[in-house]
Structure 1
Amino acid sequence: MRKLLFLAGAMLLAHAAQAAQAGKIIFVAGNATIAANAAVLDAPVGEGELLSTGADGYIYIKTIDNGLFILRPNTQARIASYHVDAANPVNTRIKLELISGVARSQSGQAVKLARQNFRFNTPVAAIGVRGTDFTVFTDSDTSRVTVLSGGITMSGFAGACRPEGTGPCEGNAARELSAAQKGQLLQVQRGQSAPQLLQGNSSLAPDVVAPPRVDEPGKNSGGGTASTTEPSLDPKKDLTLKAEKANQEAQVAANVPGKTGPDVGESKPPYLEVTPTPPDPVVTLPPKEVSWGRWTAIADQPATSGLSKAGAERLGTTEDFVLFRSRSGSTFATPVQGSMAFVMNSGEAYVRDTSTKEKVAATLSNGELSFDFGKATFATKFDVTTKAADSFKMASTGRVGADGLFSSTIFGIPSENMSVTGALNSLNGATYIFQGSPDAGRHMINGVTTWTK
């Protein structure tokens, strides 16, 4: 009985020790290994397994969320963790580690939904993303990164930025790089906290240190310039590569000499160049539209909106106003670093005397709205004035999400006397509705404001 219990326990431990699958190999060439075994097409890649390529080695990995992780020659890396929670992306945790060499990472769907929980580590730096395609070179003392699409944030390991952390490192030392900064790269050397921006130093670029193959997804035939299209990872390429592998194995079985080696035993199957499948065109959707309306009639003014709107989700309501965002279109991605201030463009508000029930129109002035994206917070304030010269000061602070939605988190103290529900529709505009009492309930003020850079 003891023996049976021991064997059962050992089997359970062995099963628990198996790494969760993070992706699979969709292409391999040259000398390449995974967990000390030869890397082969369609092999699963587990969390924590060491990936290595030799001087002629390449590995293309398709992650479980349809992302891409590519290792070029003389590279060591691992997918430290790839936990995806599609139902609740806040629980997603993804970490890639480049130990040495050159690797490229293209964000999958899970990363795009939870980029605040993605981390790409090198021996000296941490990299975070905004739904991005980027390439990294590293050795034990220096890391450099270039961006093909989207943007990244990079920080050296210092202070609160530690290798064991998750998500992008925040703080004054973090630096951003976007695909729009063509020819530029960020570099971190051991002991540095803030990356250095290098202008047009192409000889140091990862694509020069270890150039991509001509069939690398998202690269053109010249090998060094990023395509503006997404990589093609469709099944046709897998089928082509499988046919190539079968042809190579058949040649070896028939004792057909390969490209190199003095005899059959030392020969290598010849590599057949594969014409990559043309990538699907990228469809750029317009951003989701933020709109508002007044759902109540006031005096002789009819309502301008209902509480629902076709093709839109309702973000919130006040006593008189409603805020919508269209369901179709691209969702705004909030930056992970930096700050921004807006000026009030327009506004509409009403002040209700809670004792007499009288409601009067008011004007808004001295408006301020600012965001600290590194801390994911906002602050806003403005003055409200009625025709009778009644004047009130309104203010609020709160949190901003990764999708550009923001709302108050503190309400009921004198310095913050209103609740806010709003949305960034770009880095150039925001809209929010508000409601609150500046004088312990004697008056209730609600309205809407729009803001621009």
Structure 2
Amino acid sequence: MNSLNMPGFLPHRLACFLLSVGLITPLMAAQGSAEVVGEVTLLIGQAQLVGADDVVRTVERGQPVRAGDRIETREGGHVHVRFVDGGRLSVRPASRLQIENYSHSATQPQGSAIKFRLDEGVIRSITGTWGEEARERFRLNTPMAAIGIKGTDFVVKSDANATAASVYSGAILLAPLDDCATPLGSCQKGREKLLSADMKGLMLELNRQQGVPQFVAAVDLLASARRPAAGVGIATTVPPVVGVGVGAEARAATGANLDKPIVNEARGRDLVEAATQIAAAQIAAAQSPVVPAPAPLQPQVNELVWARYAWVKDGGLDTLSQTFEQASAAGRESVAFGTAHALTRNASPAGAVLTTTDAAVNFRLAGSSAFFQRNFDLGVEAAKVDNGTLAVDFSRATFATQLGVSSPTLGADSVVASGSIGKDGVMRTTSANAIVLGATTLDGKEAGYLFEKSIPTGALRGVTLWGR
């Protein structure tokens, strides 16, 4: 009789009884036992929730959300979800999103998994604490692309033939879905591209004709979500604000709390019209003549110098490095070594360590030189380096970088790497699609790294210098 006091015994007995008399079905019992991972905090218009049991439910504010659920919004429909770890998800009109997994293990991070699938439409995702702690276990798939994160607030628009993504904070790694051998984390097979929040004016786009993600001029993906006719839709041209609904301006104009349920369609239209008016005013203001800001000065690098080995045959294409004799003439010391180059910097006293008051810096590319050596004839050709980013978090001693590289034989390619920075300023790569070796100056003002990447048609080599 003591077994009657066992935790979960009575609910189990009750479920068995209800099953036996036909008041619930096995599928209903399975859905009820699924762990709740979040709740709906905002609903505008119409949307439905399709559970793992394939039962369709009308979405309501406060409704629990479980792993396996699919959120489907209609034209004009808009749903916000807050997850148990503080993560947030905004599902825009005419969208279909599957929550495939949302789990976490503090003792076994390798068991954590956050995975979404956006079949069509537009969503905005803000990473919670689980995603921050196990970024390598996060994945958002679309019919075309796989997206991994680096602590991120980002927007994705997708259909069967194309995917576009923009970033508000942090960074994402977007790759063709076909390149992914693992179900979670970012995919790094050489065709991926990194997009970070500091790459202003750019977004990533992947379509079936390209096959490789491309940087394109940014547009407001939230505003491009489909809306119903006659202007009764979500005014998404208002700049998005974390943690609020249609927009802070709309809430101030209407005096409404958009986290409260929308009780009828007329009330929803009132909120939408208020936000639309504010958006129109902002567009009109944006069309006023604006005096362009002066172009930023080219960053200067004075301490770091690349030295080139004497045996390197680059056909005179290396315009950035010096011979070892030239580089060491001023008493510089080598701090990073590759097969063709070594990075040198001013000699420092014994025991000197990296010291800077800056918590984090987004370096700008000051100079680069790269060449591609072909396998079939051992000839070399110049390679172009562009769209470079280098983010260094000195407070966490980490770095993340991305480069676009191209040449006639190579085509378009990329170099992506992240890792740690030691007290000596030397970069130590932990994740990369190429060999990346480099360092910063001990005052944190300059940085440089080399990259080497072998592909079936040849070998890519290059050096970079970065300033502020």
Q: CA separation in 2, counterparts of 1:111 and 1:342?
A: 20
**1:126 paired residue number:** 146
Match of 1:111 among 112, 131, 150: 131
1:91-150 deviations in whole A, cap 9, x for unaligned? 321001101011111111111111111001101100011111111111111111111111
Q: What percentage of residue pairs aligned between the two structures are identical? A: 25
Q: CA separation in 1, counterparts of 2:167 and 2:421?
A: 32
Structure 1: give runs of 5+ residues left out of the alignment. Answer: 213-220, 250-257, 260-268, 277-319, 348-367, 382-423, 431-451
1:21 aligns with 2:36: yes
Q: CA separation in 1, counterparts of 2:84 and 2:101?
A: 12
**2:200 paired residue number:** 182
Q: CA deviation at 1:151?
A: 1.1
1:231 aligns with 2:229: no
Give 3-state SS (helix, strand or coil) of 2:178's partner. coil
1:335 aligns with 2:348: no
Query: Do the aligned partners of residues 64 and 346 (structure 1) sit closer, same or farther apart at CA in structure 2, a change above 3 Å counting?
Result: closer
**1:61 paired residue number:** 81
Q: Is the 8 A contact 1:335 1:373 kept in 2?
A: no
Query: Do the aligned partners of residues 336 and 374 (structure 1) sit closer, same or farther apart at CA in structure 2, a change above 3 Å counting?
Result: farther
Q: CA deviation at 1:157?
A: 1.9
Q: CA separation in 2, counterparts of 1:343 and 1:89?
A: 23
Q: CA separation in 1, counterparts of 2:122 and 2:71?
A: 12
Q: CA deviation at 1:207?
A: 2.4
Query: Aligned letter for 2:396?
Result: T
Q: CA separation in 1, counterparts of 2:152 and 2:98?
A: 19
1:171 aligns with 2:169: no
1:273 aligns with 2:271: yes
The two structures, once aligned, show a CA RMSD in angstroms of: 4.9
Aligned length: 290
Alignment of 1:228-267 (within 5 A): 230-231=242-243, 240-241=257-258, 245=262, 248=263, 259=266
**2:212 paired residue number:** 194
Give 3-state SS (helix, strand or coil) of 1:273's partner. helix
Structure 2: give runs of 5+ residues left out of the alignment. Answer: 1-12, 20-24, 51-55, 228-233, 246-250, 276-349, 360-394, 403-415, 449-465
Query: Do the aligned partners of residues 334 and 167 (structure 1) sit closer, same or farther apart at CA in structure 2, a change above 3 Å counting?
Result: farther
Query: Do the aligned partners of residues 343 and 78 (structure 1) sit closer, same or farther apart at CA in structure 2, a change above 3 Å counting?
Result: closer
Alignment of 1:140-151 (within 5 A): 140-151=160-171
**2:328 paired residue number:** none
Q: CA separation in 2, counterparts of 1:126 and 1:240?
A: 35
Alignment of 1:28-67 (within 5 A): 28-35=43-50, 36-67=56-87
Give 3-state SS (helix, strand or coil) of 1:158's partner. helix
Q: CA separation in 1, counterparts of 2:242 and 2:268?
A: 29
**1:75 paired residue number:** 95
Q: CA deviation at 1:23?
A: 1.2
1:276-317 deviations in whole A, cap 9, x for unaligned? 9xxxxxxxxxxxxxxxxxxxxxxxxxxxxxxxxxxxxxxxxx
Query: Do the aligned partners of residues 20 and 223 (structure 1) sit closer, same or farther apart at CA in structure 2, a change above 3 Å counting?
Result: same
Q: CA separation in 2, counterparts of 1:343 and 1:23?
A: 37
Q: CA deviation at 1:194?
A: 2.2
Give 3-state SS (helix, strand or coil) of 1:373's partner. strand
Query: Do the aligned partners of residues 148 and 270 (structure 1) sit closer, same or farther apart at CA in structure 2, a change above 3 Å counting?
Result: closer
Q: CA separation in 1, counterparts of 2:35 and 2:443?
A: 38
Q: CA deviation at 1:186?
A: 1.0
Q: CA separation in 2, counterparts of 1:333 and 1:66?
A: 24
Q: CA separation in 1, counterparts of 2:445 and 2:41?
A: 38
Q: CA separation in 1, counterparts of 2:261 and 2:102?
A: 30
Q: CA separation in 1, counterparts of 2:68 and 2:169?
A: 27
Give 3-state SS (helix, strand or coil) of 1:111's partner. helix
1:207 aligns with 2:222: yes
Query: Do the aligned partners of residues 426 and 165 (structure 1) sit closer, same or farther apart at CA in structure 2, a change above 3 Å counting?
Result: farther
Q: CA separation in 1, counterparts of 2:72 and 2:44?
A: 12
Q: CA deviation at 1:231?
A: 2.8
Q: CA separation in 2, counterparts of 1:20 and 1:45?
A: 9
1:371 aligns with 2:429: yes
Q: Is the 8 A contact 2:42 2:260 kept in 1?
A: no
Q: Is the 8 A contact 1:332 1:426 kept in 2?
A: no
Q: CA separation in 2, counterparts of 1:100 and 1:166?
A: 20
Query: Do the aligned partners of residues 334 and 97 (structure 1) sit closer, same or farther apart at CA in structure 2, a change above 3 Å counting?
Result: farther
Give 3-state SS (helix, strand or coil) of 1:100's partner. strand
Alignment of 1:2-21 (within 5 A): 7=16, 15=29, 18-21=33-36
Give the structure-1-normalised TM-score.
0.52
Give the structure-2-normalised TM-score.
0.50
Q: CA separation in 2, counterparts of 1:38 and 1:196?
A: 38
Query: Do the aligned partners of residues 324 and 122 (structure 1) sit closer, same or farther apart at CA in structure 2, a change above 3 Å counting?
Result: same
Q: Is the 8 A contact 2:94 2:226 kept in 1?
A: no
1:57-104 deviations in whole A, cap 9, x for unaligned? 000011111111111111001111000224544432100110101111
Q: Which has the higher contact order (CA 8 A, sep 6+)?
A: 2
Q: CA separation in 1, counterparts of 2:226 and 2:169?
A: 18
Say which one has the larger Rg.
1
